[in-house]
Amino acid sequence: MSTEQSTRQFRGPALGPHDPGYDEARTVVMGGIDPRPDLIVRVADADDVAGVIELARQAGSELAVRSGGHSGAGHSTTDGGIVLDVRDLDSFEIDVPSRTAWAGAGLTAGRYTTAAAEHGLATGFGDTGSVGLGGLTLGGGVGLLSRKYGLTIDSLLAAEVVTADGELLRVDDRSHPDLFWAIRGGGGSFGVATRFQFRLHPVDDVVGGILVLPATAEVVAGFVAAAEAAPDELTTIANVMTLPPVPFVPAEHHGSLVVMALICFAGDPGAADRALAPFVDLAPPLANLVAPMKYANIFLPEDPDYHPTAVSQTMFMKSVDLDTATTILDRLAASDATMRVTQLRVLGGAIARVAPAATAYAHRTSRIMVNVAAFYDGQDDRPAKADWVADLARAIYQGDDGAYVNFLAQDGQAGVRAAYPGQTGDRLERIKATYDPGNVFRRNQNIRPATGP
């Protein structure tokens, strides 16, 4: 295919390897991922989306769909195929009286949240402002309002999806309900979402920010216990890690093991101190930046030129007792990675009040989401860091074989089945066979079409 021929088909720009802006357009967030697509199309509307899908089908090219570019598995791009880039689908239309909004799939969580905050409203997304709504929503959406308002998909009312045959569908609980069920957690295997309709919630001021505690087994286990006992208004993300040279902690603590937690209390500000006290009382904080703020300011600053190289593994756990905490700390201390972390997210709350079969997110009853990660320095260093991650994950495994699809790496079909076990996976495969029997949308944590009844 020629870029010139392809450009004529689309309203949005189509870039080939020799076009200005190509290298910038093909760059994704994670480092160590450097494919060279034959073509990148920054689609302008649903017709462009349908045209790119048809072009990929005719050419037999692998098709990657890119929103924010945060895929840890590198699925936001492709080597030698076509990238369908939805970043310019960034519309935002809010209906304040009904507390709903239509948002383009290329809008970022930060931009949506800032726009909604002008009305004292919010939808719960992840914890990073630059993440695109497309991938985050389709995978489920675990974030800083999850314990109070559920996953992102629990606020999803409808979506517009272009299918493999180029048809634009509006899907909701009445129109194509099977597809609506699938895109609420089932990932990008079923079509290209162009717009989402979300429910908004009254969220204005929160109490949130970073709390840094020295990491001992007692502090790690105590933090998880406090998060489990906390009211639903409080969501935490605890990173047990080596402390980087951050300016808000004295230099003598840099490189030491800490719990660096991101905390968000979205309740009555007068109750915040009582909710936060169990965490602050665990140990004298090395830094306490938790303070009243607008919810739109909860996302931490990001460096757009930062492209980390890391390996990771996602899993669920039932508890973190002293023995488990000790294992985590011992393994972290023994690693020579420049950065290594075990991230602990206590779930429950509104997440667990949705029936497991109600959406394609299958892990409503899982209690703690864990992500083990290590940064590596060059490809020669990667195998050793991958082994370390796998060893630590095995050491703290407690029998829950599930995984969160948005945190999967290059885990293959084993990872897909961990994300979608049993009847959930079977149902997704049947829906896939209806809407994409040729598996056009396969550059993802792929649901393969069922081959029989």
Would you say 203 and 120 are in contact if contact means Cβ atoms under 8 Å apart? yes
- H or E stretch including 40? strand 39-42
Tell me if 1 is assigned to some domain: no
Percent of the chain with pLDDT over 70: 98
The reply to whether 151 and 51 lie within a common domain is no
pLDDT tens column, 182-199: 999 999 999 999 999 999
pLDDT the model gives residue 410: 85
Tokens 């703690």 appear where? 368
Average the pLDDT over 437-442 and give the result.
97
The reply to whether 164 and 210 lie within a common domain is no
Tell me if 431 is assigned to some domain: no
pLDDT tens column, 117-162: 999 999 999 999 999 999 999 999 999 999 999 999 999 999 999 9
pLDDT tens column, 285-334: 999 999 999 999 999 889 888 899 999 999 999 999 999 999 999 999 99
Tell me if 437 is assigned to some domain: no
From 45, 69, 85, the end of a domain falls on 85
Percent of the chain with pLDDT over 90: 93
Q: Is the pLDDT of residue 4 over 50?
A: no
The reply to whether 398 and 306 lie within a common domain is yes
From 146, 175, 202, the end of a domain falls on 202
pLDDT the model gives residue 305: 87
pLDDT the model gives residue 434: 97
pLDDT tens column, 237-252: 999 999 999 999 999 9
Total domains, the chain: 3
The reply to whether 121 and 67 lie within a common domain is no
CATH label of the domain that carries residue 63: 3.30.43.10
pTM for this entry: 0.95
Measured CA distances, 235 to 109, 260, 310, 321, 349 (Å): 17, 14, 25, 20, 9
Tell me if 451 is assigned to some domain: no
Tell me if 371 is assigned to some domain: yes
The reply to whether 198 and 219 lie within a common domain is no
- Enter the DSSP assignment of 175: S
* pLDDT confidence bin for 169, thresholds 50/70/90: very high
The reply to whether 335 and 213 lie within a common domain is yes
Count of Cβ atoms closer than 10 Å to residue 148 Cβ: 21
The mean predicted confidence, pLDDT, of the chain is 95
Average the pLDDT over 369-382 and give the result.
96
**Domain hosting residue 134, numbered range:** 92-202
The reply to whether 368 and 223 lie within a common domain is yes
The reply to whether 194 and 260 lie within a common domain is no
Contacts of 418 (CB under 8 A, 6+ apart): 401, 402, 403, 408, 411
The reply to whether 229 and 340 lie within a common domain is yes
Tell me if 447 is assigned to some domain: no
- H or E stretch including 379? none
pLDDT the model gives residue 7: 56
Give bridge partners of residue 192 from the DSSP assignment.
162
From 156, 187, 202, the end of a domain falls on 202
